[in-house]
Structure 1
Amino acid sequence: MAAIKPPMYSVGFMPVLVAGAAVFVTHGVLPWGRVGGLVLASILVIAWLNLSNDAFDANTGVDNTKPESVVNLLGGPSRRTAVLVLAKSLLAAGVGLLAHLIASAPGGDLRPAGLLAFSIACGYVYQGPPFRLSYKGLGEPLCFFAFGPSATTAFYLALQPDGGAAAAAAAAAAGAAGPAAALAAGVPPLVWACALLVGLTTTVILFCSHFHQIAGDTAAGKRSPLVRLGTERGRRVLRAAAIATHAAALGATVAGALPLAAAAATLLAAPAAREMVAFADENHTVPARIAPLKRFAVKWHVLFGFSLCLGLSAARALGL
């Protein structure tokens, strides 16, 4: 079960759900069938990401002592090819479903396809050869942009109701003003605020996954943030990231980008953030004891995301 990493699939469906809540706030309706399809497609893509990362890590030896590695569970490096074939099959299924859902969405907006292609490319260059950017300490920036500004915005655009044609028309009209203007056309500040928050909580999960792997990462030449920082500074960065994320939600409200109800609802996740930080403070010096930190990060991520969705829905329902 650890190899399947069930909690990690929250990073796939949370951008869809938050984007859906943003659509509901903006338009008052939500195409639930499309939401379900995008959740399934996202889970398939995340399964590809997890399996392919295990296969790529088998080449570098960084997972040699990792019992939950799928490659190790199936018999070691000799099973790498089989794992990659399965991973590619899942990716093909996920991309095919995404393509169908985007093509059938009203408005003919092609931006979701481009944004999701960028997110998937980030997933590949994170660990895949010849790039292996995670070995250069760039995994966290890739994670933030892939799941935050890119995927969350893409899902918002893909979930537009019949009025989605207006967003596509606005994008086309803004094209003459440059790519950035075309990308942002029809996307309200609310969506960028939500994308920022999703990106931050998702990135914290990845950051927490490095705490217990410093020795193995160092031996394999992987310069993760924790290899560079050490666990003492790393736990302080984690505390700052948790505080900054909740502060960003409040700041977005002050700036007029996020409804007050949404920012207030995210405070429901604050106890989980405190629990995560306290666990890191207490256990960061012992790899075996700090290993579960990622689970605390996933719990916070899920609670924060669901609370944000709840707050957005309440804002629409109550007219706040």
Structure 2
Amino acid sequence: MATALRSVPLLLSNPSPPPPPSLSRRTTTHPLRKGGKWAVTARKPWPPLWPRSSSQPTPEVALEGDADKISRATLLWRAAKLPIYSVALVPLTVGSAAAYLQTGIFFAKRYFVLLSASMLVITWLNLSNDVYDFDTGADRHKKESVVNIIGSRTVTQYAANISLVLGFMGLIWAFTEAGDIRFILLVAYAIACGYVYQCPPFRLSYQGLGEPLCFAAFGPFATTAFYFANSSKYLTSGISHLPLTGTVLSASVLVGLTTTLILFCSHFHQIDGDRAVGKMSPLVRIGTRAGSKVVRFGIISLYFLLLAFGSCKALPLTCLFLCALTLPMGKIVVDYVKENHNDNGKIFMAKYYCVRLHALFGMALALGLWLARAGNKA
């Protein structure tokens, strides 16, 4: 599911990332002189920040086979998983926009504190996932695992726990500001989903239950929680607690779907490794061909639900229009997975396309909610 809340490229076209790190070295003159001659030293080029296009080998693929030839900086970039931090940004932004539609008030300080806290919680999720996958052997040959990079399971575990504590402190502060017990309860449920997903003795991801947990955590739980985080006894409407509306519930379902697609697609290139350690992800159970059909069904369901929610006025028409503009990105996801589901070298990129869809769709949804309120004021 840290497959969670990494910066996301918001482009509708296929990404055109830079080439992978060169395996050759090029020489450059050093300003120091040795023995009356200019010293010549080898220097590696800067590592790329984004994977290559779908038709070319990607740095991540090299990690699977030639990981020893990848620079440490590139490994650190992959381990940071920065794009996945969109799963912290989108639920918060959509939930806050739904609250703005209801009240016309935006609490900027509270928003940024919650964003920082959510990113810390996602850091805990990513680090602890590496720790427990290291314990089971799932990450034994995964060079971009944080545990393998720093060489210490204990340090990684401590860093994960500290991130969770700091993140929860920010959530508690927001709770005291909002005064709505529903917020902290739903956030606790979302964090609990993350714990039982990967941590012993539960490790429900090994039973193939990661996707339902991901949907619940980032959809109905987190998105609705951040909506309730905008409650306040100082609202001009005189309402101390925001009402639960069909708008926020509909939006949370859509956010949950796009988040779950990221997690589902992250399993495509890991099937052999997961099967070897007994991790029965959905793709281990059904295979990549059926998995590509599941992705297609998921994308179709996303836009069908968008149309249904817009038609019954659960979501404003502005949301329907803006989110419909992300259809090209949805088609890219479907086509890419269909064409490359059997190619471990290319299918790694599928989760990056899903991250882009998640970010684009989420921002379109939030903007639609904001514009609906602005239109009502006018």
TM-score by length of structure 2 reads: 0.77
> Max radius of gyration: which structure?
2
In 2, Cα distance between equivalents of 1:294 and 1:246? 19
Aligned partners of 2:240 and 2:138: how far apart in 1? 45
The equivalent of 2:123 in structure 1 is 47
Of 57, 80, 97, 2:170 maps to 97
Q: How does 1:204-215 map to 2 (within 5 A)?
A: 204-215=261-272
Could you say if the C-alpha distance between residues 317 and 67 of structure 1 is closer, same or farther in structure 2, counting changes exceeding 3 Å? same
Deviation at 1:268, TM superposition (A): 1.8
Q: 1:267-310: per-residue Cα shift (whole Å, max 9, x none)? A: 12111111111111111111121111110000000000011111
Residue 254 of structure 1 aligns with an amino acid whose one-letter code is S
* Structure whose residues are more often helix by fraction: 1
Change (3 A) 1:230 1:165: farther
CA 1:198 to 1:158, structure 2 compared with 1: closer, same or farther past 3 Å?
A: same
Change (3 A) 1:224 1:85: same
Using structure 1 for the length normalisation, give the TM-score. 0.91
Amino acid at match of 1:60: T
Q: Which runs of 5+ in 2 are unaligned?
A: 1-76
Aligned CA distance change for structure 1 residues 54 and 165 (closer, same or farther; 3 Å): farther
**Shift of residue 262, structure 1, vs aligned partner:** 0.5
Displacement of 1:166 in angstroms is: 3.3
Equivalent residue, structure 1, for 2:320 = 263
CA-to-partner distance for each residue in 1:16-53, whole Å, 9 max, x for gaps? 00011111111112111111111111000000000000
Q: Structure 1 pair 157/73, CA: closer, same or farther in 2 (3 Å)?
A: same
Tell me, yes or no, if the aligned pair for 2:292 and 2:337 is still in contact at 8 Å.
Answer: yes
1:26 maps onto 2:97 in alignment: no
| 2:135 corresponds to | 59
**TM-align CA RMSD:** 1.4
Gaps of 5+ in 1: 169-184
Question: Does residue 131 in structure 1 map to residue 188 in structure 2?
Answer: no
Matches within 5 A, 1:226-241: 226-241=283-298
Aligned residues: 299
Structure 2: distance between partners of 1:223 and 1:167: 45
Partner SS, residue 222 of structure 1:
coil
Equivalent position to 2:361, from 301, 304, 308: 304
Q: Counterpart of 2:187 in structure 1: which amino acid?
A: L
Alpha-carbon contact 1:22-1:191 (below 8 Å) kept: yes
Sequence identity (%) = 47
8 Å CA contact 2:97, 2:370 repeated in 1: yes
* Mapped pair 1:224 → 2:281: yes
Note the 1:167-246 alignment, pairs <5 A: 168=241, 186-246=243-303
